[in-house]
Copies of this chain bind each other. A is one copy, B any other.
């Protein structure tokens, strides 16, 4: 296949071969976390068998979700995040790292293979950049270099980076309440939260009856947008705007623990769209994808009223996410071009309120961590921080490790269960890179 040849032709050491391996299959197909949709007949054939046809009703189900994650635009209306008309920026190859020979450890300290890591985290693709060069690039199953993979809440970190940039430019005041930009939010509990509170997930409000059951809140959110099927008697909010308007108070904003939610990010999108007169897809294109020299367009799912799913609706390919991560590692510069101010990257690295984070349900899975401007800050030896999307999406940036790791996954397990394993494994990869530092990554 074309992409396989290309990757291999540009790899530094064909003999090492580790990052020449193209999309393939690992493990036992019965292990759901690595099931390959095309091998299961899903959407295969013209037409596919009825039981293998994706519909709005079944698209999120465990048997179909991996196909859906790789085909957002085939399930929903989308807006394009255009790569613009720039030429494609280089993503140079470095000396391949034999990632698959690296051993990592499970939560009990027992050694496990990288392939077992793939299985436990439902890996679709992974790319490792070291000192700006690709040292590992791997696609499993149906995943391809051109596949737009759902980023889910990794979308949030683009939103946060953009909001901080607009604030730096004087286009937003992060200490102002959301209602200053979206006056009709004065009628919603979200309107009184400052942009900084929204960015740091410190707004206190609820959708519907139950603030505490995240499953319930998720359901309300996704049914309102129409990305999850609605029951026949559905009478909840119709679309994201109506949902945001329905937020009820649940305490003073800025108090209490970190409270991760989708409404805050969706509200930030509304604010930025009003402040700039541009859609999120246009802003992401103008501010990120176009200046980064992305090689593929990205896209964003639209809700039932054609509003962009700002909180979690973007899909992108592996390599362009690596470009975005590398830009963050380099304090806002990529390919010789300043994309975001260094000050906002430094501020993100510094992190957020550790006590509020530790007191939250997210605390145990990230000991010592914090959250700031829609990024998860790890406060580890590498000063690492990352975006985090449902089903295991990560762009992990390790400035002091000179590394960026992008993982795209379809992890059907509990969202945060594998977080310690992921973090440990990313650090193990950086350690392996540094051990071979006598063999510099530059060719």
Residue A75 CB within 8 A of the other chain: yes
Residues of B within 8 A of A83 (CB): 146, 296
Chain B residues within an 8 Å CB radius of A74: 77-79, 302, 306
Are A305 and B77 in touch, CB under 8 angstroms?
A: no
Interface residues of A in 254-277 (CB under 8 A from B): 270, 273-274
A145 CB–B CB distance under 8 Å: yes
Are A73 and B77 in contact, with the CB atoms below 8 A?
A: yes
CA gap between A74 and B305 in the complex, in Å: 11
With A77-B74, A297-B297 known as contacts, the answer to whether A53 contacts B305 (CB < 8 A) is yes
CB of A306 within 8 A of CB of B274, answer: no
Stretch of A15-23, A84-92, A169-177, A401-409 with 4 or more beta carbons under 8 angstroms from chain B: A84-92
Q: Which of B43, B73, B146 touches A73 (beta carbons < 8 Å)?
A: B73
Q: Per-position contact with B for A412-436: 1 when CB-CB < 8 Å, else 0?
A: 0000000000000000000000000
Instruction: For A270, give its contact among B46, B273, B290, B307 (CB under 8 Å).
Output: B46
Which residues in window 1-40 of A have CB below 8 A to B? Answer: 2-3, 6
Nearest B residue to A295 via CB reads B85
Using a CB–CB cutoff of 8 Å, the interface residues on chain A facing chain B are 2-3, 6, 43, 46-47, 53-54, 71, 73-80, 82-85, 87-88, 145-146, 148, 239, 241, 270, 273-274, 279, 286, 290, 295-297, 299, 302, 305-307
Q: Given the complex, which residues of B lie within 8 Å of A85, measured CB to CB?
A: 2-3, 6, 145-146, 295
**B80 and A148 within 8 A (CB):** yes
CA distance in complex: A295, B294 (Å)? 11
A144's closest neighbor in chain B, by CB?
B82
Tell me, rounded to whole Å, the shortest Cβ–Cβ distance linking A305 to chain B. 6
Which residue of B3, B6, B53, B241 is within 8 Å of A47 (Cβ)? B241
Contacts of A53 in B (CB 8 A): 305-306
Q: Which 10 A-B pairs give the minimum distances between C-beta atoms?
A: A46-B273, A82-B146, A73-B78, A47-B241, A74-B77, A85-B145, A297-B297, A74-B79, A3-B85, A46-B274
B-side contacts of A305, CB under 8 Å? 47, 53
CA of A275 to CA of B79, assembled, Å? 33
How far does the Cβ of A402 sit from chain B's closest Cβ, in whole Å? 26
Knowing A85-B2, A296-B297, the reply to whether A306 touches B145 (Cβ < 8 A) is no
CB–CB A75/B73 < 8 A: no
* Residues of chain B with a CB closer than 8 A to A71's CB: 79
User: Smallest Cβ distance from A87 to chain B, in angstroms?
Assistant: 6
Cβ-defined partner of A87 (8 Å) among B75, B79, B82, B88: B88
- Tell me the smallest distance from the CB of A290 to a CB of chain B, in Å: 7
Q: How far is the CB of A246 from chain B (nearest CB, A)?
A: 15
Partner of A80, one of B73, B76, B270: B73
> Is B78 touching A2 in the complex (CB atoms < 8 A)?
no
> Knowing that A46-B274, A74-B302, A76-B77 are A-B contacts, what are 17 other residue pairs whose CB atoms are under 8 Å apart, sorted by A's residue number?
A2-B85, A3-B85, A46-B241, A46-B307, A47-B305, A47-B307, A71-B79, A73-B80, A73-B299, A74-B306, A77-B77, A80-B146, A80-B148, A82-B146, A82-B296, A85-B146, A87-B88
Give every chain B residue within 8 A of A290 (Cβ-Cβ): 2
A–B Cβ pairs within 8 angstroms, 17 of them: A2-B84, A2-B85, A2-B286, A46-B274, A46-B279, A47-B239, A47-B241, A47-B307, A73-B73, A73-B77, A73-B78, A80-B148, A84-B146, A85-B295, A87-B88, A88-B88, A296-B297
**Quick one: which of B80, B297, B306 contacts A43, CB cutoff 8 A?**
B306
Identify the closest chain B residue to A280 (Cβ): B46
Q: How far is the CA of A80 from the CA of B75 in the complex (A)?
A: 12
User: How far does the Cβ of A273 sit from chain B's closest Cβ, in whole Å?
Assistant: 4
Contact residues in B for A302 (Cβ distance below 8 Å) = 74
Q: Which residues of B contact A239 (CB under 8 A)?
A: 47
